[in-house]
Structure 1
Amino acid sequence: MDILTANDTTGNYPQSWYSATADAPGPYPAAEGDLSCDVCVIGGGFTGLSAALHLAERGYDVVLLEAHRVGFGASGRNGGQVGTGQRLEQDELEEMVGKDDARKLWDMALESVQLVRDLVAAHAPDANFVDGILHADHRARFVPHSHDYARKLNEDYGYDLIRPVDRDEMRHLCGSPAYHGGTLDMGAGHIHPLRYAFGLARAATAKGARIHEVSRANRVTEGATVLVETDSAKVSAKHVLWACNGYLGHAERQVAARVMPINNFILATEPLGEDLAKELIRENHGVADSKFVINYFRLSEDNRMLFGGAESYGYRFPKDIVKLVSKPMLEIYPQLKDTKIDYAWGGTLGITLNRMPHFARLQGNILSASGYSGHGVSMATLGGKLAAEAIAGQAERYDLMASVPTPRFPGGVAMRWPLLVAAMFWFSLRDKL
């Protein structure tokens, strides 16, 4: 089964609240005939669009190929939360790569959030960056660690925008008895991700990048000049960037062995009215909880509850997404039991075994950046910028990201599915117990 068409129709956005409230640019023409460029970017999500924009600003001739439409994949379907830090906590990174490199990774992660803020302000003001993410602990025993970690970031990293939150304040801020405390990070925030992607696309083309939609890369032939073939075009490029994340499939097997697609799902309720919305999330922060199969939720600009949760690991989305995601939503907010669901959609993201992004130099002139593991709004944006730097000959920061170990899934591409399903079943069972 083809991951690009298993749940979607070529060239059409899913019926999400995001696509219903965003004006798409283009459509951009499909690639035709023989094309040449300095850089061919494969994938029109945050990584690819950011790379195209930053390369075009440097004067590079860029062709971006997108199999569907820009922002079609996880970039236009996610929870919109822009988190600080890397996907792993700094304690774990210090053990993994040492304190010096862990500090550099922290600094790059902070830069990634600021980069999103700057790009939203410059190119997508309608994406509306809202400050604040609550990390909500669903077990009381998790709270001391969360508070200790906030203090570590305060003291060791000089980051004063995060603070501990006790049980009473957490229940006041998120309107649910499901949580026992956690942290509030005012350096993080949330946006309308599809409007943001569209803003990046418009900015990239304004700088001269050529975007081609409904232009799937079918074959990449390595060489001093790389040849990328679609159904109707041959693109000759000095450099290539794979930027496909969860929608890569088996197109690049070196990456596929380390980056695996999983599906995640979101509901959008009907507008709740200002009083109920304020009861549920008092200060309009985003919320992400401590479950392994994470619940994440926030309010939309028109006071809908946007609630993300549940995962699946086959190609096909479940038939009843509303039923699947309503279950965890109503566990947290039983007061929504009679609320109408206006939208329900799924998307596919890329995860790695240790949840750190997978950056790789596949050949001297072929790069890849993906595997953001649910932390991609900010890090994928930075990933595109780092790839642009590396192509321009300033590879230190890209190479640092590439040096972070991202192990192969045991058994490679063939065995990653059954092993992940078994592991995720265990972790979801642990959440329940």
Structure 2
Amino acid sequence: MSANMDSGKKHIAMYIGSLNKGGAERVMCNLAEYFYNAGYQVTLVTTYLADDEYEVADRKWEPVMEKDKADEPGRLIKVLNMDEHIKTVRMKSSEEPGIDRVFTALMPDEKGKRVANFRNRVKKLRDTWKSLKPDLILSFLGKNNCMAIYSARGLGIPVVVSVRSNPSREYGSKGLNLAMNMLFPKAAGVVVQTTGAAEYFKDCIRKKCWILPNSINPSFMKGNIVPFSERKNTIVSVGRLDDNKNQILLIRAFGKIMDEFPDYRLVIYGDGPSRKKFEKEAAGIEAARSAGTSGSSDDHTDGNRIVFMGNVSGVADKIRDAKIFVLTSKQEGMPNALIEAMSMGLACISTDCPCGGPRDLIRDGENGILIPMGEDSAMEDSLAKALRSLISDAKKCEAMADAALAVRKDYSPEKINSQWKEYFEGLMRDT
């Protein structure tokens, strides 16, 4: 008898590579908690155990550290982390309530040659679906989506795949794009975050597309909105430091105006492979400015004006009292960081990047400013102009910040989560 029949609850299996701290992983964790609290049985199926994962309320697993007592209750299993090192996880008994988890990485003794490994991965995932017998499978991201559809073929389980960024980027390789075009027509549904993302697919896939944007992380909805008059003269950016997020554009644009507005700072939150490059660029701008002013500027701040904070916990509280938020991505799905900044009443500037997430959120000149995509120098000038216009016109800046707060209603967790629930219920009724 299947687990969902035993419990009398509908069972949703959610499949992703790991619960590492990224945007897609956070959305899946939020959905897992929502559906569990709404009375569903939920199992998270991941390939790996990440070393730094999101906390999941009501989880039925716990990584085991060396200092942990071996005699604590629970079943111990061996899993792999993302570097394919063996780790130990303690699982609660199947009778206990909570969000369950299954790991599907091939262990060292299950590995062989490349072709055999692919077959074994598919078999292990297929055996997972046979064992869980979920009423629906939700998969996130690139190769996972193709694997979910392929491994569940013939089992009668509806598979919903979700593309979390620009499809042309997520399925950029020739092989993965071919697999996507072959397998996505067999999915029960394809969730995208923007209208632009849906338009990427051929007709037989596009007709399966359902637009479900990200909701606002509840932590950003807590607390009072800081009055504009009490906000600090700070420009903030939040995100992974890499060439796609393109924070170097913001660093250079701020460099163009920083002498005009000596009481403003740029504070960048996040870490990533481009951090050293971005820090070097910022240091060069600071050094050139110091040399040019010979230490006699009217700078009202202490130390550097461009600050890198790295990864921090509680980022909502860190940026809550800033005035301006900037997103500089080359490509985005529905950018969590932008929605969250708008929800706290920051005046927001974003590149008008594909596949249209910022454009779905921002009405240019009303609740934010969109920077047209183009050559780097032109974008730097456009961003510098936008920053100058908000800093020099407090009334305009405050009006855009106030208008941005409407996202609290349009993208509230209650509203977006209920759309996911309605969509899933419809698919489960049809099978």
After TM superposition, is the score higher than 0.5?
Answer: no
Question: What's the TM-score once normalised by structure 2's chain length?
Answer: 0.23
Question: What's the TM-score once normalised by structure 1's chain length?
Answer: 0.23
The structure whose residues are more often strand, as a share, is 1
Q: Which has the higher contact order (CA 8 A, sep 6+)?
A: 1
